[in-house]
Amino acid sequence: MHIRDIVRRDRTTFSFEFFPPKTDTGWDALVERISDFETLGPSFVSVTYGAGGSTRDRTHDLVVELRARGRLDPIPHLTCVGHREPDVQAILERYAIAGVSNILALRGDMPRSPDYDAAADDFRYAVDLVTFIRRFNGRGGHPDHRGFGIGVAGFPEGHPETPNRLTQMDHLKAKVDAGADYVCTQMFFDNRTYHDWAEQCEIRGIDVPLVAGIMPITSISGMRRMAELAGGTNFPARLQKRIYQIQDDPDAVARVGIHWATEQCWDLIERGVAGIHFYTLNQSAATMQIFQTLGAKNSEALRGTT
């Protein structure tokens, strides 16, 4: 389903992110957990794409498998770093043939290989990829006359490579003006930061739906890993205090992290957020607990509260 038909302003959507496992064992484990996620009835799911296209085939294979199962609507991530225009053209054609309706267009992390030559890329920024996808749509390359729906990333706590917040907002505005249909945010743990950022978006005329990214903390090591994955992520002192007070009890740490994420969700729902996107790390337990605590067995029941 086209993202314009999924993410609307009159009710909150709920969605999940998966990553394609690198091993067959991890793949089999994810396929088993997908049944849990299916019971939650998300509006859509997204599938990540490794740096420089390192998981290109596995991303495609997971997206196709999810479509074949028929109960989850997958949105593949597509990064443009390390890609030439013919590469991206071929990827888009492949997804269009598979019936994929939407793409999350990202710049992606810079490859760490000493052989990487940025000058050889046809795309420097995500806005270039958005523009390219729009041109693909305009040439009638997709069976839906609207072409691919396009999502882009937003950074309520800032992007580590662009410390100037005004410049960051310029970049987001440019992506939306180039044709993005919605914005999905990086994870955050302080809703005040998100609400302030959302207000800035409104001031700047960024008028597409904003989908808030939530990742429940389930361990201290996981929290540290989050800090590495999303440079600049702020963990409020109140949250850190709760976690470090019970750091020797892993189950208690998970309970605190899940409770914190649940409170974030309640606030976002009450404030009328367009969508909540859970970064699941391919684990279903924490997300299912959040739904249970919110008093809903699935996304449809949750949408009934908005």
User: What secondary structure letter does DSSP report for 159?
Assistant: B
> Active site includes 17?
yes
CB 283 within 8 A of CB 33: yes
Positive/negative CA dihedral, 125, 126, 131, 132: positive
* Sequence-distant (≥ 6) Cβ neighbours of residue 104 within 8 angstroms: 46, 75, 76, 77, 78, 150, 151, 152, 153, 184
Residue of 17, 161, 199, 270 marked active site = 17
Task: Using alpha carbons, select from 199, 201, 137, 123 the residue that is nearest to residue 4.
Answer: 137
CB 189 within 8 A of CB 214: no
Question: How far is the C-alpha of 29 from the C-alpha of 10, rounded, in Å?
Answer: 36
Task: Report the catalytic residues.
Answer: 17
